[in-house]
Structure 1
Amino acid sequence: MQRRHMLSALAAVSFVPGISLAQEGKPLRIIVPFPPGGATDITARSLQEPLARILKQPVVLENRGGAGGSIGMAEVARAPADGLTLGVATLSTHGVNPAVYSKLPYDPTKDFVGVTEIVKAPGVIVVNPTVLPVKDLAELVKYLKANPGKVSYATPGNGTIGHMWGELFKRASGTSMVHIAYRGAGPAINDVLAGQVGVYFDQVASSLPYIKAGKLRALAVSWPVRLDVLPDVPTYAALGYKQANEPSWFGMVAPTGTPTAVVERIQQAVAQALKEPTVRERLAGQGLYPSGTTSKEFTAQIAHEIEKMKGVAAYAKVVLD
């Protein structure tokens, strides 16, 4: 009897509109609120094929960068709550932006329901060794103190977590640098590689290939311990900058009003995909660490991060409009 009830419940869920959408021939659209090439984009593309296979429907990724992720997130917020549109949320879009902008084209809590945290993303500070031939963080701090305001640092944009990491590091180290904001991680890295900017703050994932190739030099990472992909790079905390040691994260959100059963089905599909060895290996190779929390946990996490980032923004005196 119990088994029959369980099968009936599962059958009922399978017919909820938006859970099995391949029958309608409509793709699942995932909006990535940053340009191609960054850690957010890498995370989404790692899930594209397995989600299409697990959900049995096409999965299409759309990069809608700009305004620190606000343009893409606003589009997700405006989308019908039918389970056909999802967004990749980040600590920037659902933590930093609400803390540093007085007006946003979306409400990070009212306009979305959290689906799941996908990965944790360690941060890194890198330098172009041809521009700044420093060998470690101590040498960089010494150089910055000797040349206040003469060095620029790049981030994926105003109000991104890279911006906050940069301001926190300046405060913690007592140094001064000029912030150069870009429209995403890809353009920022390109200018750092070209030698137009000396220092760069972002997730490990987007700069890791250039670190391994010797084009960028990693000085510190924001993670509890040294990373397997960068075993020779110490953590900020180990170097005495504990307040700069917070990692970032990427998750998935849906427009408010999306049926609970649809949200749960997508969460389960993401969790299942994150258990696949090929997905885990690809993410780990990029310095990304799979999570897969429940919808309830991730929704609560977003609310917590917003409050935390408001404190960080006040501490670092970051206000953007």
Structure 2
Amino acid sequence: MQRRHFIASLAATTVVPGMSFAQDNSRPLRIVVPFPPGGSTDMVVRNLQDVLGRLLNQPVVIENRAGAGGSIGMSEVARATDNLTLGVATLSTHGVNPAVLSKLPYDATKDFVGVTEMVKAPGVIVVNPKALPVKDMAELVAYLKANPGKVSYATPGNGTIGHMWGELFKRATGTDMLHIPYRGAGPAINDVLGGQVPVYFDQVASSLAQINSGKVRAIAVSWPERLDVLPNVPTYAELGYKDINDPSWFGLVAPKSMPAAQVARIQKAVAAALKEDVVKQRMAAQGLYPTGTSTAAFTKQIETEIAKMKQVAAYAKIQLD
């Protein structure tokens, strides 16, 4: 009932004057989120949903199709032929999965066109200060080198972004840690907070509350400059590790069959929505930074990320099938 009411209300909403990409279209634009409701991937598009619907003069509905690390939802998007279906692409679905799964049910480059990157999300390495009393990167690296293989780090599972970030960290710092994969982010962070596992690789958006409460200590962030929300935490690049200073990201992809004019229309609307104050405020509150890149730039970015993650997978010998 709520979804039908939302579609009806959006259909009745008028478009902002001057938006040349607007058109009267009562059929809803469907955005598939390949992960469960409530997570960071889901929140990104829900931050945009009402504004995007207004700018497009078209209902926008969001459907969660979770499972298999995002593969189920993405394969559904790849098969869509209605020219109205999009998918939320992440570093996991369009970077990690192609690198660690040889039997992926979709081709991350051949089956999609990258509509636009919506936001970037800084990463962070945190430690439980009670379980591992190190104060900064120098102390952490020194401790890890003095205790090779004795310190563990938690992730939401094998082949997840956290796992890849952990392996990148090990390679960049010349250290060795034991990977402890969990079945989801919830159990992983719970054990980090409990002290069973002292180190965790996460996005700032997900860890900010625990950092601010002092339950975990932020050691470094992956961002071009220090974050306003964590001004005392240095970047990896600042500490001499520029190769692991890349943040995570969330974008929109369309099936390769979607007409170029429709792709361009959506890209322009998303870029405009990301500039609206209400959207910027929502994103900032969650530690997310709007971008709204061009279709060509995002398509190229996906190719670059896959190549990078394949290098990490080869180095760490990560293969999940």
User: What TM bracket, shorter-length normalisation?
Assistant: 0.7 to 0.9
Letter in 1 for 2:55: I
State how far apart, in whole Å, the 1-side matches of 2:53 and 2:157 are: 31
Instruction: Give the SS at the match of 1:225.
Output: coil
Alignment-derived partner of residue 47 in structure 1: 48
Letter in 1 for 2:283: L
Q: Provide the alpha-carbon RMSD of the alignment.
A: 2.4
Preserved CA contact (<8 Å) 1:33 1:72: yes
Preserved CA contact (<8 Å) 1:99 1:310: yes
Quote how far apart the aligned CAs of 1:14 are: 6.2
Letter in 2 for 1:109: T
Alignment-derived partner of residue 305 in structure 2: 305
Instruction: Say whether 1:76 aligns with 2:64.
Output: no
- Consecutive unaligned residues of structure 2, counting only runs of 5 or more, are 1-18
State how far apart, in whole Å, the 1-side matches of 2:184 and 2:273 are: 26
State how far apart, in whole Å, the 1-side matches of 2:276 and 2:187 are: 31
Instruction: Say whether 1:199 aligns with 2:199.
Output: yes
Alignment-derived partner of residue 85 in structure 1: 85
Instruction: Give the SS at the match of 2:119.
Output: strand
Alignment-derived partner of residue 177 in structure 2: 177
1:140-194 deviation per Cα after TM superposition (whole angstroms, max 9, x unaligned): 2233334333332122332232211100111222222222334544443344334
Bigger CA drift: 34-43 or 167-176?
34-43
Letter in 1 for 2:250: F
Quote how far apart the aligned CAs of 1:115 are: 0.8
Instruction: Give the SS at the match of 1:116.
Output: strand
Matches for 1:147-162 after TM superposition, within 5 Å:
147-162=147-162
Pick closer, same or farther for the CA change 1:63–1:136 going to 2, 3 Å.
Answer: farther
State how far apart, in whole Å, the 2-side matches of 1:240 and 1:316 are: 22
Alignment-derived partner of residue 145 in structure 2: 145
Bigger CA drift: 35-44 or 167-176?
35-44
Aligned residue-pair number: 303
Instruction: Give the SS at the match of 2:134.
Output: coil
Quote how far apart the aligned CAs of 1:248 are: 1.9
Preserved CA contact (<8 Å) 2:144 2:151: yes
Pick closer, same or farther for the CA change 1:191–1:60 going to 2, 3 Å.
Answer: farther
Quote how far apart the aligned CAs of 1:275 are: 0.3
Instruction: Say whether 1:246 aligns with 2:260.
Output: no
State how far apart, in whole Å, the 2-side matches of 1:166 and 1:107 are: 25
Pick closer, same or farther for the CA change 1:74–1:193 going to 2, 3 Å.
Answer: farther
Pick closer, same or farther for the CA change 1:246–1:284 going to 2, 3 Å.
Answer: same
Pick closer, same or farther for the CA change 1:228–1:62 going to 2, 3 Å.
Answer: same
State how far apart, in whole Å, the 2-side matches of 1:34 and 1:144 are: 34
Q: TM-score scaled to structure 1, two decimals?
A: 0.85
Matches for 1:43-122 after TM superposition, within 5 Å:
43-78=44-79, 80-122=80-122
Alignment-derived partner of residue 281 in structure 2: 281
Letter in 2 for 1:213: S
Quote how far apart the aligned CAs of 1:295 are: 1.6
- Consecutive unaligned residues of structure 1, counting only runs of 5 or more, are 1-9
Pick closer, same or farther for the CA change 1:230–1:47 going to 2, 3 Å.
Answer: same
1:278-317 deviation per Cα after TM superposition (whole angstroms, max 9, x unaligned): 2112212322211111222212221232223323333443
Letter in 2 for 1:245: N
State how far apart, in whole Å, the 1-side matches of 2:199 and 2:66 are: 22
Instruction: Say whether 1:214 aligns with 2:219.
Output: no
Matches for 1:291-302 after TM superposition, within 5 Å:
291-302=291-302
Preserved CA contact (<8 Å) 2:22 2:55: no
Instruction: Give the SS at the match of 1:301.
Output: helix
Preserved CA contact (<8 Å) 1:35 1:186: no
Letter in 2 for 1:54: L
State how far apart, in whole Å, the 2-side matches of 1:190 and 1:37 are: 17
Residue identity over aligned pairs, in percent, reads 74
Alignment-derived partner of residue 290 in structure 1: 290
State how far apart, in whole Å, the 1-side matches of 2:22 and 2:55 are: 13
